[in-house]
Structure 1
């Protein structure tokens, strides 16, 4: 991670700093993973509130806390409106502060395997980070991006979703240089309702693509025509198993 002062963190997250300024070298969301120099982020979910673990994080030696309310511990802390959104803002800032080329991968199946293969290849050409296991949601993506520093040449980020809007959020945090939609199949229909719903959700990845970015698309996917308005002015690389006679080459610039 890029080292940041608490004043910088407060500015990035639109938070208020209480206590003395310190340098942060790591961000954690699990009190059991606290290390010296880290910022513990107290996330709130539908079934949990990590504010109850602030005491444990302090005892384990964290340097500061990011919370949604004032705390009663003798430690520097930052109060924000929403710790999950603050985590995303912090990750986005770190991502945009590096020159790393970021490849974002989504699809109904095979994302993790493609991510691992891509990262393995890129590591032969430079220092590379990639999504840990399948931590591909609105929390996992920021945690991965926060690992970036100026020495990383590449990042391979998996973007997953169970409902509309999730990939829009993570793609705009990630701001990828290259995106790959591996495939579109029937998956997570409870949240997406239909195959068209799946297709629309995966197409949200286009929203974060940088202006000079490259799109890699599986021609065997459903509802390709729905994506044309998002990619008409982008560099495009197609691949296909079924349409073997279609061969279209574009250069994917990762140098």
Structure 2
């Protein structure tokens, strides 16, 4: 990430800074990954609370902390209302400062394969970041974006979801230049109840597409009618197995990306 002062981070997160306004070069949510000039964010979830590891983080050498409560500390810290939201706010700010071209990939299946193929092509000639493993949720996506450096031209970000509202949240942080919906299929029905619910959730990626953005859609997906308003006036590329006569085959020559080989592979992934 690019260096940031604690004062700037406090402004980004609507937080309250206690202690010195030092410069931070790294952000971590894991005490095992702390290096010099690291800001440790103590996340709190339903089944965990990293505030219990603040002493360990200080012992490991972190330079500052983001917390949701006052703490007794010999180092600077920022109090915010929600540390998870703060993580997303910092990531979104960094995304806008560096302003890389971002391809965001979602869908019921095949996301990781498409992400890996796309990244393997782009990194041959450019500095890029991309989602590692399955870090595609409300924590993993911000962590991915925090890796951005000034030299990075592109980011390939996988967006996953288990419950309604997650794609909306991480898409708002990501603000893609290209949005790919790989497919809509039977997965995570416990959270969405139906294919219609899944389609509505995945379509939220389109709500935060950058101006002059591009949409790539699988015509074989269920409930495409749910996306009509969101893709209006957008540049759209389609692919399909069943509707070959209606497909604009993916010979993309986008100025900032050449991903045609990856997208053609989707034909096999969705079978």
Please state which band the TM-score falls in when normalised by the shorter chain. Answer: over 0.9
Counterpart CA distance in 2 for 1:194 and 1:146 is 34
Alpha-carbon offset, residue 226 of structure 1: 1.3
Displacement after TM superposition at 1:253 (Å): 3.9
CA shift, 1:124, in A, is: 2.1
- Give the aligned partner of residue 241 of structure 1: 241
Q: Which residue of 2 aligns with 1:152?
A: 152
- Correspondence for 1:106: 106
1:126 counterpart = 2:118: no
CA displacement, residues 107-138 of structure 1 (integer Å, 9 cap, x when unaligned): 00011111000111111231110011011000
1:160-175 paired onto structure 2 within 5 Å = 160-175=160-175
Tell me, yes or no, if the aligned pair for 1:138 and 1:169 is still in contact at 8 Å: yes
Cα deviation for residue 215 of structure 1 reads 0.3
5 Å matches for 1:31-110? Answer: 31-110=31-110
- For residues 180 and 21 of structure 2, the distance between their equivalents in structure 1, rounded to whole angstroms, comes to 41
Q: Structure 1, residues 45-102: CA drift from partner, whole Å, max 9, x if none? A: 0011100000000000001000001110101000001000000000000000013100
1:254 pairs with one of 248, 253, 256: 256
- Alignment match, 2:28: 28
How many residues align? The count is 255
CA distance in 1, matches of 2:169, 2:150: 24
Paired position in structure 2 for 1:190: 190
Matches of 2:83 and 2:45, distance apart in 1: 10
TM-score using structure 2 length = 0.92
CA drift at 1:31: 1.1
Match of residue 177 from structure 1: 177
**How far off is 1:252 after superposition?**
3.4
Any runs of at least 4 consecutive aligned residues in structure 1 with deviations exceeding 6 A, and if so which? none
Distance in 2, matches of 1:251 and 1:165, equals 33
Q: Extract unaligned runs of 5+ from structure 2.
A: 258-271
Q: Structure 1 length as normaliser, TM-score?
A: 0.97
Residue by residue, what CA displacement relative to the aligned partner does 1:162-213 show, whole Å, maximum 9, x if unpaired? 0110000000000000000000001001100001011111001111111210
RMSD over equivalenced CA pairs, Å: 1.1
Structure 2 Cα separation of the partners of residues 68 and 152 of structure 1: 32
Matched residues in 1 for 2:233 and 2:25: separation? 39
Gapped regions of structure 1 (runs ≥ 5)? none
Q: Distance in 2 between matches of 1:76 and 1:55?
A: 13
